[in-house]
Homo-oligomer: A and B are copies of this chain.
Amino acid sequence: MKRLLITGAGGNLGRIARARLGHLAEILRLSDIAGMGPAGPGEEVIPCDLGDRAAVADLVAGCDGILHLGGVSVERPWDEIQNANITGVYNLYEAARAHGMPRIFFASSNHTIGFYEQDQVLDVTDPMRPDGLYGVSKCFGEGLARLYHDKFGQESALIRIGSCFEKPRDRRMLATWMSPDDFVRLVECVFRVPMLGCPVIWGVSDNDEGWWNTETARLIGWRPQDNAEDFRAEIEAAAPRPAPDAPESRFQGGKFCAEPIHQG
């Protein structure tokens, strides 16, 4: 690719992508609301509010691929979520449509299905059960991406990201963790496979424990290699086991299921 746009470049996943995915394109165009620091070699830094239609259009122009990590990624008041994750996603897909339909990696979330219990194995075709406004906004995004695929041929990878950190941080992440290395390989696969279409794929490492049938990862040739199990002793030593009926123990979405509706 000549130019790859990374939204949310100042966030957790965005910083990983910035540091390690430069080889995917001649230029990385980095965007976030703030906090990205100066551009390095081969980088363009363009602050942008996803809710600003015109700004998003300018941002997307000239890009051959979009790694869409931007927006709100936790439970927040509705107006914030709506601006970034609903208006923002609409703006992004309209911009892509206007500018040659570059392939999009859409960071969806396990919180689209967070209200399933932890003793069930899910397929990507199971009906959604979001665990908060954030999760609902990601259901919206998956629906919009599917529309743009069916109507215009826009390709998107709908990646339901588990928990991507250096290491798993609590017991639930022993099941939901995706290592940064696996994330990097995942992005490479999305932009490499000849035919992408619009598949849904669980963004999770090859953890011993898990709730998701990861069969669709092979559609893009992604084979995760890390395993949260390596951190079990550390995790279990760090904190007592939560009660069995705590949301963290019971639901796939964990604590999100117990979050209130945040007021602005």
Q: Is the CB of A82 within 8 A of B87?
A: yes
Interface centre among A135, A147, A198, A213 (most CB of B within 10 A): A147
Which of A4-12, A56-64, A220-228 is found at the contact surface with chain B? Answer: A220-228
CA separation between A197 and B252, bound complex, in Å?
12
Interface size class of A (residues with CB under 8 A): 35 or more
Q: Is the CB of A150 within 8 A of B131?
A: yes
Give chain B residues whose Cβ lies under 8 Å from the Cβ of A128.
143, 146
Q: A211-B219, A219-B209, A261-B94 are in contact. Are A197 and B86 (CB under 8 A)?
A: no
A153 at the binding interface (Cβ < 8 Å)? yes
Give chain B residues whose Cβ lies under 8 Å from the Cβ of A21.
none
Q: A129-B150, A130-B147 are in contact. Are A119 and B261 (CB under 8 A)?
A: no
Q: Is the CB of A121 within 8 A of B211?
A: no
Q: Is the CB of A130 within 8 A of B146?
A: yes
- Nearest chain B CB to A259's CB is how many angstroms away? 9
Q: Interface residues of A: mostly helix, strand, loop or mixed? A: loop
Copies in the complex: 6
Give chain B residues whose Cβ lies under 8 Å from the Cβ of A249.
194-195
Within 8 A of B (CB), among A140-177: 140, 143-144, 146-147, 150-151, 153, 155, 171-172, 174-175
Binding site for B on A (CB under 8 A): 78, 82, 86-87, 90, 94, 97, 112, 115, 117-121, 125-133, 135-136, 139-140, 143-144, 146-147, 150-151, 153, 155, 171-172, 174-175, 193-199, 207-211, 213, 215-216, 218-223, 229, 241-242, 244-245, 248-250, 257, 261
5 A-B pairs with the lowest CB-CB distances in the bound complex, closest first: A119-B197, A209-B221, A139-B143, A115-B150, A195-B249
What are 24 A-B residue pairs whose CB atoms fall within 8 Å in the complex? A82-B86, A117-B197, A118-B219, A119-B199, A125-B127, A130-B144, A130-B146, A131-B147, A132-B147, A135-B147, A136-B144, A140-B140, A140-B143, A150-B257, A151-B257, A172-B194, A193-B209, A194-B241, A195-B249, A207-B218, A207-B221, A209-B218, A211-B218, A223-B229
